[in-house]
Amino acid sequence: MYRVSNKVIGYLNLVTLLASIPIIGGAMWTARSSANCESVLHTPLLAIGFIVLLVSLAGFIGACFNVACALWFYLVAMLLLIAGLLCLTAFGFAITGGGGGVQVPGRIYREYYLSDYSSWLRNRISEDRYWRVARACVVRSMECAEIARWTPIDYLERDLTPIQTRRSAVGLLQAADGVRIRDRGSDGGAGGGLLPMEQ
């Protein structure tokens, strides 16, 4: 029974060891791409790939060659990874809870308001330094150029992403009688939703 369980652990770790290779390869590929948003994924993918590689290698060596210290390292690393994933999941639910968007009557897309999210997230994204990379990423993408070619019917019939919804709402309101735009929300720039202001 002991040998069977070791073989199962060894084969499972061999599979994850092999799976880490395309993850690292994908991270290297995103590093070459500086003209789009994929380059942002370089560091996280590289870190995940090497962590999976090291943990899987320790599990494989420990299980197949009966190396006790490698198995202990594997066990501790797996416990830390599981605890980290649980904390990350709980944190994600805590800061995004209640912010699933509001269905717009007669429209396919949903509207999103920052006031529905946690104050930590609102304060973080209201600072300009957090938006520089995201703004440059959106500008380099084809999102805005594609929206510029849309007809008014496209705005009503397409399933818009949150970025497209905000961008198209600004464009439509600015085009209609040259109105100015302000954010809806009690905390100024941290609020979401767009409302026209009278001149």
Same domain, residue pair 166 and 106: yes
Same domain, residue pair 106 and 155: yes
Q: 35-44, pLDDT tens digit by residue?
A: 556 667 788 8
Same domain, residue pair 30 and 85: yes
Q: 8-23, pLDDT tens digit by residue?
A: 889 999 999 999 999 9
Q: Can you give the pLDDT at residue 94?
A: 87
Contact between 26 and 45 under an 8 Å Cβ cutoff? The reply is: yes
Largest pairwise CA distance in the chain: 79
Q: Can you give the pLDDT at residue 82?
A: 95
- DSSP one-letter code for 182: E
Q: Can you give the pLDDT at residue 124?
A: 80
Q: Can you give the pLDDT at residue 86?
A: 96
Same domain, residue pair 190 and 122: yes
Same domain, residue pair 74 and 126: no
Same domain, residue pair 113 and 70: no
CA distance 12 to 15: 5
Same domain, residue pair 121 and 142: yes
List phi, psi (to 5°) of 180. -90, 160
What is the model's pTM?
A: 0.64
Q: How many domains does the chain have?
A: 2
Q: The tokens 């073989």 sit on which residue?
A: 7
Same domain, residue pair 124 and 190: yes
Q: 70-108, pLDDT tens digit by residue?
A: 999 999 999 999 999 999 999 988 888 776 778 878 777
Range of the domain at 174: 102-197
Which two tokens mark 47? 């870190």
Same domain, residue pair 119 and 182: yes
Res 174 pLDDT > 90: no
Same domain, residue pair 126 and 143: yes
